[in-house]
Amino acid sequence: MTATMTGLSAASASTTLLGFLILMTAVLVVLLIAKPGITETLSGKFLAFAGLFLFPLLAGYGGLALHLDHSKRTEFCLSCHVMERYGRSLLLDDRSHIPAVHFQNHLVPREAACYTCHTDYTLFGGFSSKARGLRHFYAQYLGTVPERVELYSPYNNRECLHCHNGSRSFEENPVHSADPGIMASIRSNQLSCIGCHNLMHDIENLEGAALWRETVP
């Protein structure tokens, strides 16, 4: 809860700062239009530079950063109709259902559940994930939304191991520890995690399934 509140506070502060920059830009532009003669002085030139270049650039950068940060949120990912069933799978009342277990037990941050599991944990992982997101936007608004949503590329074990590697529950799992070669194959990505956990969201079988209801104190 604290992390969520901190995130909301930071977003609110960023929105306020962005609004201030936009307001200052508008005020300076109106001032320059009303009194163009002020640009003859050094201070007037500085105001013109700030109003026409500096503040708009800062506002543009701030707006882009704010929207990119918002795109990491689970509610943003599920705002498209085609993703609605994937959101329901996070609430499935089934302790063996991987997305539901991760979401309901805070194994991933709920406010960024989709982004956490579907971002490449590499140097430019965030950038490549945003690039894939732009492809989603194109399909949603300009292209054709496929009936079945599929990953653009095979899911890499790296994304699972980023959190699970070294954890006791993962290392001592009877299947993982049955043979030393199994764990080595998982870590080398030769044996895919998805190969065993192939249902994942399993949205085709969600119709009529019981959903977990969080108890709010």
Q: How far apart are CA 87 and CA 77, in angstroms?
A: 9
**Percentage of residues of the chain with pLDDT beyond 90:** 27
Whether residue 75 contacts residue 114, with contact meaning beta carbons closer than 8 Å, is answered with: no
Local confidence band at 217 (pLDDT 50, 70, 90 cut-offs): low
Mean pLDDT calculated for residue range 124-139: 79
- The domain segmentation of the chain, as residue ranges, is 8-70, 82-205
| H-helix or E-strand spanning residue 86 | helix 84-89
Q: How far apart are CA 54 and CA 25, in angstroms?
A: 9
Question: Within a 13 Å sphere around the CA of 149, how many CA atoms are in the beta-carbon half?
Answer: 17
In this structure, which topology does domain 82-205 adopt according to CATH? Multiheme cytochrome fold (1.10.3820)
**Percentage of residues of the chain with pLDDT beyond 70:** 94
Concatenated DSSP letters of 127-149:
HHHHHHHHHHHHHHHTS---SS-
The residue with tokens 């936009």 is 22
Say what the pLDDT of residue 185 is. 93
pLDDT tens track for 49-93:
988 899 899 888 888 888 888 888 999 989 888 888 899 999 999
